[in-house]
């Protein structure tokens, strides 16, 4: 990283009160002994501060900083504290898509009272209309007329010969894992559902998804596995892939391994290779490479976002945390942020929104207002 960018990051920490004692001592020494450091530091606090801050912030690489976030998360077993900004709020200069820095340290307490996250109880709706609540943090064995269910800390397995369809529904703020009768494993994201038979019967294995799901399909060359979505179907023999249908009118399939064939309702077809994802809309299919870690992070309770408007982040955060976020005011339309959400650290996410997006946060009736 360029020296000027390092000084810029330290300066932002200095203004926000986030310097460690070691960093404060380092700055004092450099200001006393290093003329170049002293000159650059002064440029941020004097008349040229706005112009120079904007220049340095625009030189920061959001892509590189996001890669650093992922690297540190992998190496330390969890994400602690990050600073990411689309606006250098301490200077009043709008800077699109820049990550300022990331630190591992205890989070400061947000000025807003933290809302209580809802219990993410998963519902299984049987073919006869009966609804069974599956507790995510405990073990259950449920005996039905034609099936025995085993719910164990967020994972469902079962034994059954029933070929009628049931629907598993995961609420906002939750995720869930299940083992199908053929050995296929499915992870469902928040606000998602899976319609499936307890026992597959016929030449194909058909399931229906709404929302987001990751599949690790058990191989069976004689009985293709078909995932039906609102606009497409994905036909596989044995593979791993992610499907996202959250956005109405648009669907995304990302292939991790194996091979899948996609077909739209209007007859368009596409075969994907590993490492590629397909976006489908009214214009047809469009393919490109994807970051596997970024696409599948939701299964471990993390969501990465890249140069995303705050208004869009509010929509995703509502689904991710299971509480409502509302971005008020037109100014957020021009503020784009790169970073991540961690489902286990709502307080840090709110702290970062306050600091980096310049958002005033208040909580009322389980709704987080950003103003």
Q: Do the beta carbons of residue 129 and residue 156 sit within 8 Å?
A: no
3-class secondary structure, 129: coil
> Is residue 36's pLDDT more than 70?
yes
What does the alpha-carbon distance between residue 70 and residue 297 come to, in Å, rounded to a whole number? 10
Interacting residues of 258 by C-beta distance below 8 A, sequence separation 6+? 217, 236, 237, 238, 239, 240, 241, 274
Q: Nearest-CA neighbor of 62 among 23, 96, 13?
A: 96
pLDDT of residue 340: 87
Q: What is the value of pTM for the model shown?
A: 0.75
What does the alpha-carbon distance between residue 281 and residue 138 come to, in Å, rounded to a whole number? 40
Give the CA distances from residue 318 to residues 50, 117, 174, 304, 369, in Å, rounded to whole numbers and listed in that order.
34, 11, 11, 15, 11
Identify the H or E element spanning 101.
Answer: strand 93-103
> Is residue 92's pLDDT more than 90?
no
| 29 or 2, greater pLDDT | 29
Identify the band that residue 5 occupies on the pLDDT scale cut at 50, 70 and 90: low
Least confident of 146-150, 302-306, 339-343, 355-359: 355-359
Task: Please tell me the class of the 122-295 domain.
Answer: mainly beta
| 81 or 43, greater pLDDT | 43
Identify the band that residue 108 occupies on the pLDDT scale cut at 50, 70 and 90: very low
| 293 or 60, greater pLDDT | 293
**193 CB burial (10 A radius; 0-12, 13-18, 19+):** middle
**In the chain, where the domains are located:** 122-295
Identify the band that residue 301 occupies on the pLDDT scale cut at 50, 70 and 90: very high
> Is residue 56's pLDDT more than 50?
no
Identify the band that residue 85 occupies on the pLDDT scale cut at 50, 70 and 90: very low
Average pLDDT of the residues of the chain: 81
Identify the band that residue 235 occupies on the pLDDT scale cut at 50, 70 and 90: very high
Name the pairing type of β-strands 324-327 and 367-370: parallel
């Amino acid at each position: 990283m360029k020296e000027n960018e390092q000084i810029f990051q330290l300066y932002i920490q200095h203004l926000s009160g986030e310097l460690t004692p070691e960093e404060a001592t380092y700055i004092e020494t450099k200001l006393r002994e290093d003329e170049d450091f002293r000159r650059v530091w002064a440029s941020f606090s004097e008349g040229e501060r706005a112009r120079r801050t904007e220049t340095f912030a625009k030189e920061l690489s959001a892509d590189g900083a996001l890669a650093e976030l992922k690297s540190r998360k992998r190496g330390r077993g969890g994400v602690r504290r990050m600073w990411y900004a689309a606006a250098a709020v301490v200077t009043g200069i709008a800077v699109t898509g820049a990550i300022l820095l990331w630190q591992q340290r205890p989070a400061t307490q947000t000025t807003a009272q933290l809302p209580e996250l809802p219990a993410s109880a998963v519902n299984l709706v049987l073919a006869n209309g009966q609804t069974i609540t599956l507790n995510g943090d405990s073990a259950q064995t449920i005996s039905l007329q034609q099936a025995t269910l085993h719910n164990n800390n967020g994972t469902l397995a079962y034994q059954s010969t029933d070929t009628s369809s049931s629907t598993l529904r995961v609420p906002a703020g939750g995720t869930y894992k299940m083992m199908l009768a053929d050995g296929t494993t499915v992870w469902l994201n928040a606000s998602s559902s899976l319609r499936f038979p307890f026992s597959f019967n016929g030449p194909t294995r058909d399931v229906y998804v709404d929302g987001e799901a990751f599949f690790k399909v058990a191989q069976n060359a004689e009985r293709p596995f078909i995932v039906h979505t609102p606009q497409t179907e994905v036909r596989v023999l044995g593979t791993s892939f992610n499907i996202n249908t959250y956005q109405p009118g648009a669907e995304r399939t990302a292939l991790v391994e194996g091979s899948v064939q996609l077909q739209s309702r209007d007859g368009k077809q596409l075969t994907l290779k590993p490492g590629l994802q397909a976006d489908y809309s009214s214009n047809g299919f469009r393919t490109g490479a994807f970051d596997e870690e970024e696409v599948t992070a939701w299964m471990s309770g993390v969501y990465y976002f890249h140069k995303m408007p705050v208004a869009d982040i509010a929509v995703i955060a509502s689904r991710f945390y299971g509480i409502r976020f509302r971005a008020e005011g037109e100014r957020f339309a021009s503020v784009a942020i790169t970073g991540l959400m961690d489902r286990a650290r709502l307080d840090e996410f709110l702290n970062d929104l306050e600091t980096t997006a310049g958002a005033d946060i208040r909580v009322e009736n389980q709704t987080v207002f950003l103003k």
